[in-house]
Amino acid sequence: MINYNKLSYQIKRKILTFSNKICKNLSKPSYKFITQMIYGILENQTILLSDISRALKENISLKKTIERLSNNLKTFNKHNVAIDNYISKIKPYIDDNTVFCVDGSEITKRNSKVLEAMGKVRDGSTGETNINGYNCFEIAALTSKYNMPVSVYSKIYSNAETDFVSENEEVLEGLNFIRKHFGSKGIRALDRGFDDKKFYRYFINSGEPFVIRAKCNRNVIHNGKSINILKLANKYHGRFSTIVRNKAGKAKKCKFSFISIALPDIPDKPLTLVVIRGFGKVPMMLISSIKPDDKRLTLTIIQVYLKRWRIEEYFRFKKQQFDFENIRVRSLNSIRTMNLLLSLIVGFIAMLSEKRGENILNILIQKLSNRIYKIPEFDYYAVADGIYAILKKTLTGIKNFIQPVLKTKAPQQLFIAEALEV
């Protein structure tokens, strides 16, 4: 039999420890707000304020709790402080081999009419354009141990804002944030939407390693002559071969070659074109600042780009597990604060995932997730479901843990016999 009281105590302690570090240099009301929001979202797996408020189990009316959380979401203005604290928390997971996955997503609000500064977006799931909603630009770092995505930059923005310039400017702002906090560590992996001379110039000038998937209409310089990139790629049928996995996880035999090129706008900077055949009729073409001289380093470029698909799993988890697109708050600052909180929560889950199988709590969290089959490689869903299964059994919220008197109380050690009541 599972001792849910013991397990919920341990999870609440971990939430409190995480929140203490995130809320460094923030006021006590802000600390209380962030801690309660993280706990409420984790307990009910939703971003609806009514459900979050129920999870807190306060001795006041539900309406009062909802009003307090709503006001805090709207007025919270210390995003940068919380983000800087969060970045310092995850820095130990970042090294030269880290892959920074860069991509954009969207929050569609087809039937909403009163949300602040709501713009027009393209729905990536259906391909429809001119849909009501907000854009989301995200950069996720893959952890070194399990290659799990951890958000290092996330911003909700709207093309209807008065100070909006362009989507490219939003991307450059995010890339500058990464360079500021991590320097040139890691490799940046970007999809075809970022095949633009602005980004090539940015990476070449900053010295940050990158891999960008090229569009078929791009021209490159090869042997001193300008040529269409697809026409050049079709001259190479694959010098090497390897087995890789596609988005669905199926093994594919691919052939690949690497070619020295330059870009017409930056002719004095040599780059590498990697051509991969096996993913469809049109070869996959990757442009990188990494200069391979053998199969091994060329394969590294391919693997870096394929890992970029992890950010799509991250977006899917963030939207599906917490129903992010069902957000009901109206002000843009409230939406951005909720996005910040979700990014923090995914970071918290990622840190638990990195320690999978290392302690009793993590083992039991995944056991209680009730997977039909074995725990998948992308185990965020299992971790979140396990936390939900434990916290929904608790009769108290997290209020008592926030009280100063409990800060002096020694943490309880979790033993397997106590957790299982044997």
pLDDT digits (tens, 9 = 90+) for 253-301: 899 999 999 999 999 999 999 999 988 889 999 999 998 877 888 899 9
**CB of 301 closer than 8 Å to CB of 320:** no
Please give the pLDDT value at position 378. Answer: 84
Q: Looking at mean pLDDT, say which of 121-135, 136-150, 151-165 comes out highest.
A: 151-165
Residue that is written with structure tokens 């906090």 in the block: 181
List every span in the chain annotated with CATH 3.90.350.10: 95-312
Q: What is residue 272's three-state secondary structure?
A: strand
Q: CA distances (Å), 381 to each of 167, 317, 320, 321, in order?
A: 31, 7, 10, 7
* Residue 357 phi, psi (nearest 5): 80, 0
d(CA 386, CA 153): 26
pLDDT tens digit sequence for 84-133: 999 999 888 888 889 999 999 999 998 888 899 999 999 888 888 999 99
- Answer whether CATH 3.90.350.10 is correct for domain 95-312: yes
> For residues 138 and 314, is the Cβ–Cβ distance under 8 A?
yes
Q: How far apart are CA 362 and CA 354, in angstroms?
A: 10
Query: Cα(384)–Cα(420) distance, rounded to whole angstroms?
Result: 20
